Amino acid sequence: MKSFRQELRQQLQARDEDRLLRHRHILHSPQGTEIILNGEHVTSFCSNDYLGLAGHPDVIQAYHDGLEQFGAGSGASHLVSGHMAAHHDLEEELATFTGRSRALVFSSGYMANIGVITTLVGKGDSIFEDRLNHASLLDGGLFSGAAFRRYPHLDAGALEVLLNAADSKRKLVVSDGVFSMDGDMADLPQLVNAAMKHDALLMIDDAHGFGVLGEDGGGTAAFWREQGHDIDEDNLQILIGTFGKAFGASGAFVAGSEELIETLIQFCRPYIYTTAMPPAQAEAIRASLKLVRKDRWRREYLAHLVTRFRHHSDDLGLELLPSRTPIQAIVLGDVELTLKASACLLEAGVFVSAIRPPTVAPGSARLRVTFSAIHTEEQFLKLLHALEGVARLKGQAVGQ
């Protein structure tokens, strides 16, 4: 019989032979557009720090002040003695920001998604998810014990067919607001209509939408409201956001009705049995939230960069997925070509990760370019110039 270590070694070897083995890069600098990666200075275009707030002096100062006031850690879970004033104030501000009755802070987005789904649905219920949902949403559906159905990406018609066929006590429709690997948006009006027609709850994880979309950074729901659609907590009952993207920190929150939040406080195991996030972190997020709402120029500048990038990529013959967000995916398909393209960019001093299966579907390997509001014109032109090398690689591969 093979030893446990031998089995693991063979599994890792197989992944390596398929060129799918992942490796961690080491940053020796703060997160930003100019970083020290594995000891080398490079320009980064693969961070989710969309608004450039991770290193903002106001956010850093708020963290420092929070450390002085509250100490390094919360010391307990929220329901024991770890729910501090910083957490409570942040939750009230998030409720106002999202236009919901209440909000609840979690230590991570993965924990929030797993916790909410497994609290709200179980055996005898049904859950319906977009095929390209984030792994935490898919895992939450699998862990819940509910009947789990996936519909084709952004296909509200297919979702309605599944909803119509389901005979269950509670139905829950779950989707990303902005899809993390493609950068496209969910059509919330269609999802709202489908859920309401079939008496289902709707849950949106807007990790990549908050701060980026909407005039005040209110995310995907705010974007659609500004287009004239009625989207509120009565028809979008569960709204998830994270602090690890546009907010420049880490952690997550759930926003919704009074009844939803109180139910999670009482029954959500990942919330109840986890030490609360450091209160200083909550203070830093409060500072980020002020900047998200105030600095509209950050969103405007991001939109400007995205428009220019898409025009230039089209001129180079690089295939982009449809996206109006800072997530711009250059699909190359072949894993080996994608790895070579990422290495080509790194040689030019530009860091863009190669995204491969199983993170994305087989045959859809890609370069995932992400923009920040603090990318300079010089950095942007550096990227565009480096992409000329990627276009040549692609042309050579096609010509073989």
What single DSSP character describes residue 229? -
Which residues, in sequence order, are CB contacts of 234 under 8 Å at separation 6+? Answer: none
Helices assigned H by DSSP within 295-334 = 296-316
Whether a cis peptide bond, with omega within 30° of 0, leads into 358 is yes
What radius of gyration do the chain's Cα atoms show? Answer: 22
Spell out a b/e string for 98-137, using b for 16 or more CB atoms within 10 Å of the CB, else e: bebebbbbbbbbbbbbbbbbbbbbeeebbbbbbebbbebb
Token duo for residue 112: 């929030």
Token duo for residue 367: 């370069």
241-to-17, 142, 211, 323 alpha-carbon distances in Å: 37, 21, 10, 20
The H or E element spanning position 128 is strand 126-130
CA separation for the pair 155, 145 (Å, rounded) = 24
Helix, strand, coil % (nearest 5) of the chain? 45, 15, 35
What single DSSP character describes residue 276? P
The number of angstroms, rounded, from the C-alpha of 4 to the middle of its chain's C-alpha atoms is: 35
Determine whether 359 is exposed, middle or buried from the number of CB atoms within 10 Å of its CB (0-12, 13-18, 19+). middle
* Closest to 330 (Cα-Cα) out of 34, 44, 46: 46
User: Are 391 and 331 in contact, with CB atoms under 8 Å apart?
Assistant: no
Catalytic residues: 180, 208, 245
DSSP letters spanning 71-103: -S---SBIIIII--HHHHHHHHHHHHHHT-SEE
